[in-house]
Amino acid sequence: MSHPAPPPALVPAPRRALPTAPGRAPGRAPVLDADTTIEEPPGTTAAARWLRGTLGPALGLPLPPHHPGSPSRTRVRLALVPDLAGELGGPEGYRLDTTAHSVTLTAAAEPGLLHAAQTLRQLLGPEAFRRAPVTARRHWPVPAVTLEDGPRFRWRGLMLDVARHFLPKDGVLRYLDLMAAHKLNVLHLHLTDDQGWRIEIRSHPRLTEVGSWRPRTKIGHRASALWEEKPHGGFYTRDDLREIVAYAAARHIAVVPEIDIPGHSQAAIAAYPELGNTDVVDTSALGVWDDWGISPHVLAPTDTTLRFYEEVLEEVLELFPPDAAPFTGFSRFVHIGGDECPKDEWRRSPAAQARIRDLGLDGEDGLQAWFVRHFDDWLTARGRRLIGWDEILEGGLAPGAAVSSWRGYEGGITAARAGHDVVMCPERAVYLDHRQDPGPEEPVPIGFVRTLEDVHRFAPVPPELTEEQAAHVLGAQANVWTEVMEDQGRVDYQAFPRLAAFAEALWSPLPPPAERDFAEFESRMAVHYARLDALGVAYRPPGGPRPWQRRPGVRGRPR
């Protein structure tokens, strides 16, 4: 019995190819055509809808439901077999099997069927990634394969910073489609920061009336002398966010909102000055920050501030329901930031110092931990889970809280050893705003050089962890901070093709980083670039940026 290699151009690479089933003739490929139907038993509606609504228009095929007696030579068969969950590695695993007259997608749950459908799309070629046919072709052969596939890690995420540069709703929906195409399943939306507030809150309308717009924007790194002298901003209405969450859920992607507390809050203070430390700063004179970096203006540790943010989070919980993407289990999470909180205002504030004394806290660091613990308790009481950047470890965490480890692996190691769940996103490994090459033509070079190969060799689990501790590593996410990304094209350039390499590092059963065959991955990417072209992704070409992707004369911060 033969053991064929998996099709060479699938990204991320599947777990394994299986031998051809007994009694089936190898090499006889099914062909999708105008008569092809979809056999869709109960529970397979989401996958059938995606095939019919996304793949069908690209191929020019109607893909109607299969009925007994239909004239179809070939059918796409969807099968849910819950008992296969253990064999396929959980709800996201699947099998894709072809015979001469059928393509069978089998999974234990809906997410696996959708992943199988995405693999089928890749097998059909780059034209399957367009929105309408580009040729008169009406016959689409599917390679004769039998694949068994499933993810290595549960949390496979992308963080989009929509606070520094606003990404309109359609852009977010587009990125959800790009995530689904690469089998990613968590979108972390960074909704608030010093430079903008992006979520409509009915109880506090000035957060968007005032906080969502800044008067001008620094072009390049904060050391740059260049400015764009026009207002920048925008926000998502409540219905926009409901649409985003529903669109994500239909693709079994969880959306995790981030509301920054207590630092990175100047936009909120500009809208409601009483949230700031009014005894040391004239907060009424503050506007939404127009520069990059970390604002010194942070939230005041008052009961008024706590109640204000409780009211904000009450609306956040309504807009981001805990069961939106139930198979991931990650829709329960709410990110509260908790990072980079300057303490100078608290040191100078009599009110803050009185609070420290009254609560018996360990100085200003203890005051920040008090903020985190308050909202940890508040979210836990409502059946949610707090997650924050690794600074929230300072002062101790409740058992259910999780940590996004960004300052290297150390925070994640500490958290996992203490029994906390961890999402690994170390800056030097998976910050996609960092430059991709040391060459002078990279647009606004930020941070460390992280090439496509570097990202492909990313390993989320540090070797220092025991097997029991490593089980707390839920997975990882790639972070896209947008200070120097003024539009969708710049986001595309920084994210791709590295996001494809990241997706493979999280999905596929790769060997240790030093043993990975990057040349083989590059050979598959040579085909995958054509898919990205069909999707309209403005990725960085292997040979370097195209002329219009460069930003000559705009200062960055290479490290």
Domain boundary among 149, 179, 198: 149
331, 294: one domain: yes
163, 139: one domain: no
- Rounded to whole angstroms, how far apart are CA atoms 166 and 178? 18
Number of domains present in the structure of the chain = 2
114, 204: one domain: no
- Rounded to whole angstroms, how far apart are CA atoms 349 and 278? 8
450, 547: one domain: yes
Structure tokens at 281: 């700063």
- Helix, strand or coil, per DSSP, at residue 421: coil
Domain boundary among 102, 131, 149: 149
CA-to-CA separations, 371 to 205, 240, 305, 522, in angstroms, rounded = 23, 29, 10, 46
CA-to-CA separations, 219 to 154, 436, 485, in angstroms, rounded = 37, 20, 9
Strand-strand pairing, 385-389 and 333-337: parallel
501-515 pLDDT, tens digit per residue, is 999 999 999 999 999
Helix %, strand %, coil % of the chain (to 5):
35, 20, 45
CA atoms lying within 13 Å on the CB side of residue 278 = 10
pLDDT at 537 over 70: yes
Q: What are phi and psi of 311, to 5 degrees?
A: -65, -40
Look up the CATH number of the domain holding residue 30. 3.30.379.10
Task: Find, among 145, 247, 255, the residue nearest to 191 by Cα.
Answer: 255
Catalytic residue among 127, 311, 315, 340: 340
Determine, yes or no, domain membership for 458. Answer: yes
103, 171: one domain: no
pLDDT-above-90 percentage for the chain: 93
Determine, yes or no, domain membership for 8. Answer: no
Determine, yes or no, domain membership for 420. Answer: yes
111, 213: one domain: no
Q: What is the mean pLDDT of the chain?
A: 95
Look up the CATH number of the domain holding residue 159. 3.20.20.80
pLDDT at 4 over 60: no
60-74 pLDDT, tens digit per residue, is 999 999 988 777 789
60, 83: one domain: yes
134, 178: one domain: no
Task: Give the pLDDT score at 543.
Answer: 96
Domain boundary among 149, 166, 182: 149
Q: Is 340 a catalytic residue?
A: yes
pLDDT at 49 over 80: yes
Average pLDDT over residues 339-357: 97
Strand-strand pairing, 473-480 and 557-558: unpaired
Please, which residues have CB within 8 angstroms of residue 434's CB and are 6 or more apart in sequence?
A: 427, 428, 446, 447, 448, 449, 450
397, 538: one domain: yes
467, 531: one domain: yes
Task: Find, among 264, 538, 545, the residue nearest to 389 by Cα.
Answer: 264
Question: Which structural domain range is residue 79 located in?
Answer: 16-149
Determine, yes or no, domain membership for 488. Answer: yes
pLDDT at 47 over 90: yes
313, 461: one domain: yes
Determine, yes or no, domain membership for 7. Answer: no
Average pLDDT over residues 134-153: 94
Determine, yes or no, domain membership for 6. Answer: no
125, 194: one domain: no
146-155 pLDDT, tens digit per residue, is 999 999 999 9
Task: Give the pLDDT score at 29.
Answer: 84
Please, which residues have CB within 8 angstroms of residue 343's CB and are 6 or more apart in sequence?
A: 298, 364, 365, 367, 368
Determine, yes or no, domain membership for 11. Answer: no
Determine, yes or no, domain membership for 9. Answer: no
Indicate the pLDDT class of residue 7, thresholds 50, 70 and 90.
Answer: low
